[in-house]
Amino acid sequence: MKARAKPSAPDPSAQRKGILLVDDHPFMRAGLAHLIDRQPDMRVCGEAGNPAEAFHLLKSARPDLVLTDLTMPGRSGLEFIKDLLSAEPRLPILVISMHDEAVFAERALRAGARGYIMKEAGGENLLTALRQVLRGEVYVSPRMSSRILAGLSGSRPRGSSSPIENLTDREFEVFQLIGQGKSTRDIATQLNLSPKTVDVHRSHLKEKLDLKDVTALIRYAVRWVETQGTGGE
């Protein structure tokens, strides 16, 4: 399905904040659009199935906020956030994802997103998150907020962090792609890196995750991707 921008609405609609939906699942976008368009203060100004389509829509849709998934074809979700903010530094971004906020939320916020909500949170929580981010605030769940504050205060319980959390964003992306069964060449192409650089990241991953060889790394990454549901299309 091609990206589309909705035509400009009459005055009443023009007062509503425009939301650009970015998700590669048409049914998910349809459900989100139905929920948002029923609100008196928000409307969907465009829909895109991948980051490239979203960039194509930016000027015509003129969104007040981008609501985006993290796992889509063609571009890492974290890189997409960074690219969006490079093009539109003041554009608020709210991530909506099926992936565990304990693993992804802090990374999304560090990349520049203003909020993170899991898809299982439900419609009312999503509307709360949208309005909060539109007001210029940051949104995460109460559980995630407590976790972030504990980390900042140095009071996070010992042993509570996964070694995955210690990976850089680029290492994390390489790790995910390894878990999806991608070859070094595939990873290099997708992330615009050289194969040699990908091999360097593999070495760092083995060291940080305390794995003895590439086979152990692949097995670990595949198991992790299966448990997180972050497999590719």
* Strand 71-72 versus strand 75-76 pairing type: antiparallel
Q: In the predicted model, is pLDDT for residue 100 greater than 60?
A: yes
218 against 160, higher pLDDT: 218
Per-residue HEC secondary structure of the chain comes to CCCEECCCCCHHHHCCEEEEEECCCHHHHHHHHHHHHCCCCEEEEEEECCHHHHHHHHHHHCCCEEEECCEECCEEHHHHHHHHHHHCCCCCEEEEECCCHHHHHHHHHHHCCCEEEEHHHCHHHHHHHHHHHHCCCCECCHHHHHHHHHHHHCCCCCCCCCHHHHCCHHHHHHHHHHHCCCCHHHHHHHHCCCHHHHHHHHHHHHHHCCCCCHHHHHHHHHHHHHHHCCCCC
Q: How many angstroms separate the CA atoms of 222 and 176, rounded?
A: 8
What is the distance between the alpha carbons of residues 49 and 73, in angstroms, rounded to a whole number?
9
Residue 5's pLDDT is what? 62
Q: What is the pLDDT of residue 10?
A: 46
pLDDT of residue 15: 85
Whether 164 has a pLDDT exceeding 90, the answer reads no
The tens digit of pLDDT for each residue in 7-55 reads 554 445 558 999 999 999 999 999 999 999 999 999 999 999 999 999 9
Q: What is the pLDDT of residue 138?
A: 94
Domains of the chain: 4-151 (3.40.50.2300), 163-228 (1.10.10.10)
- pLDDT band at residue 190 under the 50/70/90 scheme: confident
Residue 149 in tokens = 């504050």
Average pLDDT over every residue of 123-142: 94
Percentage of residues in the chain with pLDDT exceeding 70? 85
Average pLDDT, the chain: 86
Who wins on pLDDT, 2 or 83? 83
- Can you give the pLDDT at residue 209? 92
Residues 123-138, mean pLDDT to the nearest whole number: 96
pLDDT value at position 156? 53
Among residues 227, 183, 158, 173, the alpha carbon closest in space to that of 205 is found at 173
- Encoded amino acid at 92, one letter: P
**How many angstroms separate the CA atoms of 13 and 210, rounded?**
55
Q: Is the pLDDT of residue 171 over 70?
A: yes
The more confident residue out of 47 and 166 is: 47
- Over the stretch 138-161, which tens digit does the pLDDT of each residue have? 999 888 877 776 666 555 555 446
Q: What pLDDT, in 10s, does the model give residues 43-87?
A: 999 999 999 999 999 989 999 999 999 887 767 788 899 999 999
Amino acid at 93: I
